[in-house]
């Protein structure tokens, strides 16, 4: 299957509902920074595209390197990052 696309605003809303002690400004800054790195072509140390949502929390890495899982069937990814990767 693949990642489930989500907008940054929707992801932030969902994340803050589940994690009310998180700082919205910092979360937004980290997500946009990871998205910009993704758009620039920054890769994980293993050579795969970075996972923007995970990279906002754990540094620029791919889904597998961050989670240890190889399948991402129902995991969110920022829609703009998916569109960037689809255009390759």
Which string of DSSP letters, residue by residue, matches 26-88? Answer: HHHHHHHHHHHHHHTT-B-TTSSBP-HHHHHHH-S--HHHHHS-S--SS-EEEHHHHHHHHT-
Per-residue model confidence (pLDDT) at position 70: 86
70 and 54 in contact (C-beta within 8 Å)?
no
Residues 59 and 39: beta-carbon distance below 8 Å: no
Per-residue pLDDT tens over the stretch 9-56: 999 999 999 999 999 999 999 999 999 999 999 999 999 999 999 999
The per-residue pLDDT for range 44-71, each reduced to its tens digit, is 999 999 999 999 999 999 999 999 998 8
What is the reported pTM? 0.89
Tokens 């990279």 belong to residue? 55
């Amino acid at each position: 299957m693949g990642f489930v696309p989500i907008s940054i605003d929707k992801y932030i809303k969902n994340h803050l509902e589940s994690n009310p002690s998180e700082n919205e400004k910092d979360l937004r800054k980290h997500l946009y920074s990871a998205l910009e790195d993704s758009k620039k072509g920054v890769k994980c140390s293993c050579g795969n595209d970075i996972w923007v949502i995970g990279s906002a929390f754990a540094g620029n890495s791919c889904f597998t390197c961050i989670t240890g899982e190889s399948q991402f069937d129902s995991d969110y990814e920022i829609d703009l990052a998916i569109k960037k990767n689809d255009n390759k």
